[in-house]
Amino acid sequence: MKEKRDRMQIVHDILQAIVDKQGKIKPTHLLYKSNLSHGRLMHYVQDLVDKDLVKKDFDDSSTFYIITDKGLKFLAEYRRMREFTDSFGL
């Protein structure tokens, strides 16, 4: 059985999903890619918007989520953090 993702991993998966769509993604696509329920996803996304890792944008009455520079830095930092925690077996 696949191990349950921790909060950091979920944030990473959300941001990576946005990067994979050239930095801009619709909520529906993000829902499929993130493998989260709608409620949980919205909770995480709002948290990311509040922390300035992601910003909301509107385009012809469609909502998009765009990754910010801070979000890109987090992704780079995440790999280092993962390496650190893996080296301690956590």
Residues that bind another protein (CB under 8 A): 6-8, 11, 76, 79-81, 83-90
In DSSP terms, 54 is beta-bridged to 67
DSSP 3: P
Residue 40 Cβ vs another protein, minimum distance, rounded to whole Å: 15
Q: How far is CA 27 from CA 19, 62, 79, 85, in A?
A: 14, 9, 25, 31
